[in-house]
Amino acid sequence: MAQADKYSIRDLKKDFPNDDICLEYIFSNLHAKTCSCGGRYNRVKGRLKFQCSKCRFQIAPLVGTIFEKTSTPLTLWFHALFIFSNAKSGVSSKEMERQLGVTYKCAWRILKLIRESLKQDGLPLKGDVEMDEGFFGGKGDAGKNNEMLSVVMNKKTKVIGAVERKGRMRAKAVKDVSAKTIATFLDHNIYPIDTRLLTDKSNRYNLASWGYNRQSVNHGNKEYVRGDVHVNNVESFWSHLKRSIKGTHKAISKKHFQSYLDAFVWHRNNRYNDRERFGTLLGALLQS
Ligand SMILES: [Zn+2]
């Protein structure tokens, strides 16, 4: 596992001490410093614009980005991104409000915009891919003989997750975990060719995974690992997600679950390098 490259608040303040430098960074993230005419872009004094030294063409880098109409200083935005980027167990609006010294409404809005920029891409997974279902939230007791099980399960948010060994993760909130839903997930997210699908022995997969090379462990018989067949990587994602929701967010409504899920998947897929992750997050926000 690669050593995480740390990125501290001191690094952030050194890299981005003021709004001018933040704006320079945003410009270079979106545009080339050299114009097609051969001139160089320089900042227009006192304005949020850059101008070519030869043909005088102007570019306003914030136009069309989520920073365009914001009254929040760029340094504060960068600080918010820093907090979000480093919070691997998520960050609540309340926490953001405290750390940034902004109103709750402002903190909530910033977090919402960040999460919305982290939608998962549609590039299918391949290779050794683990797949499993997770169940979140919903109160109630299934009863002694599980007579209330279906009622309790109905209240829970259901998620299907898949992860490449040493690779990318994908997770989607779904309305149910029927064979049909699983088949649709597979179809959209996992290449059948050159893939070994690793699951538990649930019957739902028998029909759904037709056409896939599938190997499974029998959780019902307390078999969790057989050789290199297991779903431990997806399961550790589920338990991290459960702990994080409990510790940070308390509860997440079904309606918003997918955007939180996107953020957690993004964190997992970018977990090794703190500095790179900050840059990737800013890039995602600028593109959204
Ligand atoms: Zn030019």
The per-residue pLDDT for range 16-27, each reduced to its tens digit, is 999 999 999 999
In the structure, what pLDDT confidence band is assigned to residue 166 with cuts at 50, 70 and 90?
confident
Specify the pLDDT at position 221: 83
Q: How many Å lie between the centroid of ligand 1 and the Cα of residue 55? A: 4
4: in domain? no
Q: Are residues 142 and 222 in the same domain?
A: yes
State the angle between helix axes of 232-244 and 254-269 in degrees (0 to 180), rounded to the nearest 10.
120
19: in domain? yes
pTM of the model: 0.90
Specify the pLDDT at position 282: 93
Q: Are residues 147 and 249 in the same domain?
A: yes
Q: Are residues 114 and 215 in the same domain?
A: no
Give the domain CATH number at 192.
3.30.420.10
Q: Are residues 162 and 79 in the same domain?
A: no
Q: How many Å lie between the centroid of ligand 1 and the Cα of residue 54? A: 5
In the structure, what pLDDT confidence band is assigned to residue 1 with cuts at 50, 70 and 90?
very low
Q: Please determine, for residue 4, whether its predicted confidence score (pLDDT) is greater than 70.
A: no
pLDDT digits (tens, 9 = 90+) for 107-163: 999 999 999 999 998 899 999 999 999 999 877 676 777 777 777 788 899 999 999
In the structure, what pLDDT confidence band is assigned to residue 169 with cuts at 50, 70 and 90?
very high
User: Do strands 169-174 and 157-164 pair parallel, antiparallel, or not at all (unpaired)?
Assistant: antiparallel
Query: DSSP secondary structure string, 95-111?
Result: HHHHHHT--HHHHHHHH
Q: Please determine, for residue 8, whether its predicted confidence score (pLDDT) is greater than 80.
A: yes
Q: How many Å lie between the centroid of ligand 1 and the Cα of residue 64? A: 21
Q: Are residues 179 and 283 in the same domain?
A: no
1: in domain? no
Q: How many Å lie between the centroid of ligand 1 and the Cα of residue 285? A: 27
Q: How many Å lie between the centroid of ligand 1 and the Cα of residue 67? A: 25
Domain span at residue 283?
9-118+272-287
Q: Are residues 132 and 246 in the same domain?
A: yes
Q: Are residues 278 and 249 in the same domain?
A: no
Q: Are residues 84 and 202 in the same domain?
A: no
pLDDT digits (tens, 9 = 90+) for 32-76: 999 999 999 999 999 999 999 999 999 999 999 989 888 899 999
Q: Report the SS3 class of residue 172.
A: strand
Q: Are residues 143 and 174 in the same domain?
A: yes
Element (H, E) at 287: helix 274-287
Q: Report the SS3 class of residue 179.
A: helix
187: in domain? yes
Q: How many Å lie between the centroid of ligand 1 and the Cα of residue 43? A: 14
Q: Are residues 184 and 210 in the same domain?
A: yes
Q: What are phi and psi of 255, to 5 degrees?
A: -60, -40
3: in domain? no
Domains contained in the chain, number: 2
179: in domain? yes
Q: How many Å lie between the centroid of ligand 1 and the Cα of residue 23? A: 20
Specify the pLDDT at position 3: 44
pLDDT digits (tens, 9 = 90+) for 193-250: 989 999 998 888 988 998 999 999 988 888 888 889 999 999 999 999 999 998 887 7
Specify the pLDDT at position 253: 85
Q: How many Å lie between the centroid of ligand 1 and the Cα of residue 41? A: 8
Q: How many Å lie between the centroid of ligand 1 and the Cα of residue 283? A: 25
Q: How many Å lie between the centroid of ligand 1 and the Cα of residue 53? A: 7
Q: How many Å lie between the centroid of ligand 1 and the Cα of residue 27? A: 15
Q: Are residues 107 and 178 in the same domain?
A: no
2: in domain? no
* Rounded mean pLDDT, 74-99: 95
Classify 205 in phi/psi space as left (phi over 0), alpha (psi -120 to 50) or beta.
Answer: alpha
13: in domain? yes
Q: How many Å lie between the centroid of ligand 1 and the Cα of residue 34? A: 8
Question: How far apart are alpha carbons 206 and 221 in whole angstroms?
Answer: 18
Q: Are residues 69 and 167 in the same domain?
A: no
